[in-house]
């Protein structure tokens, strides 16, 4: 079978109680420093500390040190971290799927994200499917977003994107608040915003009978990372959103919660801090939302999406994918905009394309 498709619709097939899910558990982590250099440690871990309100998120836009993310990093950093983990434990990570959290977010939200398309590359190696983003498609999508006309009176898109990073800079500390001097906490407003540094958590998780390792960025920790490995980490996801002024805004926010929830749920991030802002980018209030309560909140609201459907759909799709991608070669996983099916087809009959790094193949070939 070299070309096939999985129907998303009708989504009624995925209603009902949840497929079993494994609580995501961090097995390793890595960081990018403020030059975006890879580091096999938690040096870019940040600690949440609420910002002073109100505050102007536009401040410092001219000095923003923005990461150029047009290049193709494949799964390199994730695979480097897995190599180190396997060396440390002396055990191979035997899972069905290894990918970035962002790819799994696209799959999890697909039943309710009809408008958006995606493209991923996949390969099969030593019993595991590796999935990466198709970089050319990602860049094309970003370019199309940039070309979209903004309604009159709205700030430019790059300014609006800056607000999110500014909010993060205003809301985190480099160490826990206790030893952090007051002056440093207050000085966050003058800090140059730089989105090169990241802390990425690598978790083991699963849905139905699909075991996965996911890597993804986490914004901050609420308190500290626990000493004991088995204890849950109190991660915090930071998000900005427009103030809710009427029913239409409420509906928009509820739709946005789908992405917030999916992204956080997959890595086991228990809390989302939403910073509400005016249309011109003044941060006016904060709300703490428990990730686990979001699906029920939506059900009681406008009922625009259903978390159970997302989980059941993703589990079924991934089980199906395991049956499709089980031999050498590279594959494309694609959903067109407005399409209600995910297509999977073979692109190369042999090899692993550029999806796997040479160092990973070398390690696994000799391990
Ligand atoms: P907001 O989510 O507050 O808008 P993340 O929330 O995933 O930690 O991402 C941090 C910030 O990166 C976002 O903050 C936003 O500013 C920017 N960002 C992330 N994805 C983006 C995208 N697809 N387009 C534009 N900006 C994006
Ligand atoms: Mg982030
Ligand atoms: Mg964030």
Taking CB atoms and a 6 Å cutoff, what residues make up the pocket around ligand 1? Answer: 161, 164-165, 167, 219, 239-240
- For residue 219, the ligand 1 atom closest to its alpha carbon is 8
pLDDT of residue 302: 96
* pLDDT, mean of each 10-residue run, the chain (367 residues): 89 93 97 98 98 98 98 98 98 98 98 97 98 98 92 93 98 96 97 98 98 98 96 98 98 98 98 98 98 98 97 98 97 98 98 98 91
Q: What is the dihedral of CA 244, 153, 142, 337, to 10 degrees?
A: 60
- For residue 168, the ligand 1 atom closest to its alpha carbon is 10
User: How many A from CA of 217 to the centre of ligand 2?
Assistant: 6
Which ligand has the shortest distance to the CA of 217? 2
DSSP 8-state assignment for residue 157: H
Torsion angles phi and psi, residue 185, rounded to 5: -65, -45
Which ligand has the shortest distance to the CA of 165? 1
pLDDT of residue 367: 67
User: How many A from CA of 339 to the centre of ligand 3?
Assistant: 28
Mutate which of 32, 137, 143, 164 for ligand 1? The one with the most ligand atoms within 8 Å of its CB, which is 164
pLDDT of residue 17: 86
Give the closest residue (by CA) to ligand 1 atom 12: 164
The length of the chain in residues reads 367
Specify which residues 132 forms β-bridges with.
121
How are beta strands 172-173 and 55-56 bridged, if at all?
Answer: unpaired
User: What are the structure tokens assigned to 88, written together?
Assistant: 């440390």
User: How many A from CA of 263 to the centre of ligand 2?
Assistant: 10
| Interhelix angle 101-109/247-267, nearest 10 degrees | 130
Q: State the Cα–Cα distance between residues 318 and 88, nearest whole angstrom.
A: 29
CB contact at 8 A, 210 and 262: no
The string of DSSP letters for 18-63 reads: PPPEEEEEEEEEEEE-TT--EESSSTT--EE-PPPSSEETTTTGGG
pLDDT of residue 149: 87
DSSP 8-state assignment for residue 110: G
pLDDT of residue 79: 98
Neighbours of 275 (CB within 10 A): 25
């Amino acid at each position: 079978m070299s070309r096939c498709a999985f129907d998303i619709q009708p989504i009624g097939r995925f209603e009902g109680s949840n497929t079993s899910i494994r609580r995501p558990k961090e097995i390793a982590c890595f960081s990018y420093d403020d030059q975006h250099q890879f580091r096999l440690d938690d040096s870019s871990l940040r600690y949440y500390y609420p910002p002073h309100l109100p505050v102007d998120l536009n401040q410092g836009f001219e000095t923003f040190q923005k990461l150029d993310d047009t290049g193709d990093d494949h799964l390199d950093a994730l695979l480097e971290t897995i190599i180190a983990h396997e060396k440390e434990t002396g055990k191979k990570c035997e899972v069905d799927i290894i990918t970035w959290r962002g790819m799994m977010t696209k799959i999890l939200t697909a039943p309710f994200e009809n408008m958006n398309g995606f493209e991923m590359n996949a390969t099969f190696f030593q019993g595991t499917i590796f999935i990466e983003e198709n970089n050319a498609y990602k860049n094309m999508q970003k370019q199309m977003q940039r070309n979209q006309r903004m309604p009159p009176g709205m700030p430019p898109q790059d300014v609006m994107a800056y607000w999110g990073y500014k909010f993060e800079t205003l809301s985190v500390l480099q160490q826990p608040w206790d030893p952090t001097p007051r002056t440093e906490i207050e000085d966050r407003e003058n800090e140059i915003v730089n989105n090169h540094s990241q802390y990425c958590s690598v978790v083991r998780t699963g849905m139905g009978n699909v075991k996965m390792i996911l890597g993804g960025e986490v914004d901050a920790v609420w308190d500290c990372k626990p000493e004991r490995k088995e204890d849950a980490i109190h991660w915090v996801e930071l998000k900005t959103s427009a103030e809710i002024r009427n029913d239409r805004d409420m509906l928009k926010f509820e739709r946005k919660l789908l992405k917030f929830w999916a992204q956080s749920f997959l890595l086991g991030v228990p809390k989302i801090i939403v910073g509400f802002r005016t249309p011109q980018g003044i941060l006016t209030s904060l709300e703490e939302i428990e990730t686990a309560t979001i699906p029920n909140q939506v059900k009681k609201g406008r009922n625009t999406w259903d978390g159970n459907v997302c989980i059941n759909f993703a589990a079924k799709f991934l089980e199906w994918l395991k049956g499709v991608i089980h031999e050498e070669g590279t594959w494309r996983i694609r959903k067109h905009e407005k399409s209600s099916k995910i297509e999977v087809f073979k692109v190369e009959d042999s090899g692993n394309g550029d999806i796997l790094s040479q160092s990973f193949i070398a390690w696994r070939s000799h391990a």
